[in-house]
Structure 1
């Protein structure tokens, strides 16, 4: 294989492919990237038997061919180059990366041990706007668990009914849901690993096409296609959370509340728990720590219903408020240890709801 390509374009394509591949591998060969050069350009593909990605990049192929090379070193080398054009050429058992005055050589990996580029994309079952999808995923995927010991909580449930895409994520202590418009041809309901969706939210542009196949889910935009094995997620549903016992509702500026929470958080104990006490026309946030002292701050709010004093972990409450920056939010507080429901007073096309569990206050 021998080709010449624009350095910046090839660096971007390689970096995108590397980010969409899984960060950990059971076999070194799965960390490789397949480069397939033809008269039509260059195709980059990776496959770790669960996640597969492919995309194309413009290139002039002097000699057509396919090689497998370590993905991360190739991406880092291309990113470090400043020359406008780069040449990739097979030299013995290495792939040489050449620019005027410099040569970098990567080992060729055994293609026979690699699972290949993966199955081609199925026809899309839905299309969504990339910006709207990214807005929803930044919140919903962020609530999924990071602990692989409970894999069912490491995914985002995606349910499409033809006109609306609904997303649900939870780590057992909080849950976020979002809905956004979609154009669909067939209903689907899958649990997709949140790690991949988090990268998709950062990289996708234009219109994102969603694909489903038995036990797999895929997304594509431009020349990029990524697919993954799905998880078992029929249990993950906001219907499992009781919301009929809200007895106190607050309307408050999300930014003002978040700023106060951050300040009071400086005075909380090691668990980072603060108390939110509801009064007439305001709420009072308080925290105490034997070493740093104590703090209290009052924030104006429209209050309806009863009076209550739930406690929350600072980090979780800030995460719940972050999607609503610049908006007025409604906090539906339920008695006891039931979830508090956070939503925008005037939601847009992307309608997000966040459920955050209260914590037991220190000393109670």
Structure 2
């Protein structure tokens, strides 16, 4: 095998393909990136760990077609460090030579015949705007669990009903819901899938800026799989198996009390007040007519407080939150004002965004946060 490719094109493709490689692969070949050079002047790169696959195609000057398997992480590091000149790949026996300007590397190849067969991309289910997908995923995955001992909660539940897509995630302490529209392949599409939050984050960051993203879903047809494709790149992932908890019912039907605060000043104040909050120590928010007082710390510990303007509908109320969970929700909103809707000081609080102080809140994105009980 022998081919020449532009350095930047190679770097982007290898970085994309190698990004999901496992740190501790169950088999050595699963740490590799499969590289296939074709007579048509295309180089295909692929990785697969039996759960997530990634594929990309790049143009190249192919002199001798062929297929090799090399260490993905090492090749990605080498590609990033190469000078901005064309890169030549040449295979000689069990080694591949990578030459770029005055830089020369020799890498061992792995037995490509031992590499598993890549999964087939499911049929197209629908198309979503990449920028909207990126925004929705970032808003929802903040609430997904990072605890791998609870695999169900590390996923994002995707509910599809015709042109409406709803994303849901929870780690038991907060819940995020985001609604968006897409272009389904069938107008009566109705299905549900549970996708790893980590996979969705990777896809939205890598494919989102490209433009439209094709989504392919296979549920109940043998292997449950989801695939994404855009800009000559493909990725597939096995769906998370199991019954996701019925979290929608956690959103309150009525909220007799609500407060509205400018979002960015609240974020800034929460960050400042949180400086004195020890680990697992909450920030307290005391809402009364015309203002909210943020404070943290007590007794002989360091203390901080700050007062912000706010509007309040209903009786005075005080709540306390995990500082990071509070900031995650506020940062995800993306609106000038935040509405906090209450049913009781010890019941979950719903965060929604609105564009003006006295406007209506939007239900396209909802963030539900469980408060921390504190002694008055």
TM-score, scaled relative to structure 2: 0.91
Give, in angstroms, the shift of residue 200 of structure 1.
Answer: 1.2
Match of 1:156 in 2: 156
* Structure 1 segments of 4+ aligned residues over 6 angstroms from their partners: 347-350
How many equivalent pairs are there?
362
**C-alpha spacing 1:176/1:266, structure 2 compared with 1 (3 Å):** same
Instruction: Give per-residue Cα distances to partners, 1:200-250, cap 9 Å, x unaligned.
Output: 121112001111114111111121111111013542444231413523101
Instruction: Give per-residue Cα distances to partners, 1:82-135, cap 9 Å, x unaligned.
Output: 13200111122111111232310111112232213x133222111110001000
Farther off after superposition, 343-352 or 325-334: 343-352
Correspondent of 2:330 among 307, 321, 329: 321
Match of 1:258 in 2: 267
Match of 2:191 in 1: 188
Instruction: Give per-residue Cα distances to partners, 1:288-324, cap 9 Å, x unaligned.
Output: 1556521221111111012211110110000010022
Instruction: Give per-residue Cα distances to partners, 1:37-74, cap 9 Å, x unaligned.
Output: 00221000111111111110111111101111111110
Gaps of 5+ in 1: none
Whether 1:103 aligns to 2:108 is no
C-alpha distance in structure 1 between counterparts of 2:12 and 2:361, whole Å: 32
For the Cα contact (< 8 Å) 2:259–2:313, is it kept in 1?
yes
**C-alpha spacing 1:307/1:148, structure 2 compared with 1 (3 Å):** same
For the Cα contact (< 8 Å) 1:181–1:349, is it kept in 2?
no
Match of 1:208 in 2: 213
Whether 1:241 aligns to 2:263 is no
Whether 1:50 aligns to 2:51 is yes
C-alpha distance in structure 2 between counterparts of 1:351 and 1:22, whole Å: 35
Match of 2:166 in 1: 166
Farther off after superposition, 3-12 or 96-105: 96-105
For the Cα contact (< 8 Å) 1:22–1:51, is it kept in 2?
no
Give, in angstroms, the shift of residue 161 of structure 1.
Answer: 1.6
2:297 aligns to what SS in structure 1? strand
- Residue pairs, 1:54-133, within 5 angstroms: 54-116=55-117, 118-133=118-133
Gaps of 5+ in 2: none
Correspondent of 2:348 among 328, 339, 348: 339
Match of 1:352 in 2: 365
Match of 1:282 in 2: 291
Instruction: Give per-residue Cα distances to partners, 1:139-170, cap 9 Å, x unaligned.
Output: 21222111110000011111122211110111
Farther off after superposition, 4-13 or 25-34: 25-34
C-alpha distance in structure 1 between counterparts of 2:290 and 2:249, whole Å: 32
TM-score, scaled relative to structure 1: 0.94
**C-alpha spacing 1:24/1:269, structure 2 compared with 1 (3 Å):** same
1:105 aligns to what SS in structure 2? strand
C-alpha distance in structure 2 between counterparts of 1:216 and 1:166, whole Å: 18
Farther off after superposition, 24-33 or 49-58: 24-33
C-alpha distance in structure 1 between counterparts of 2:338 and 2:321, whole Å: 17
For the Cα contact (< 8 Å) 2:157–2:244, is it kept in 1?
no
**C-alpha spacing 1:349/1:309, structure 2 compared with 1 (3 Å):** closer
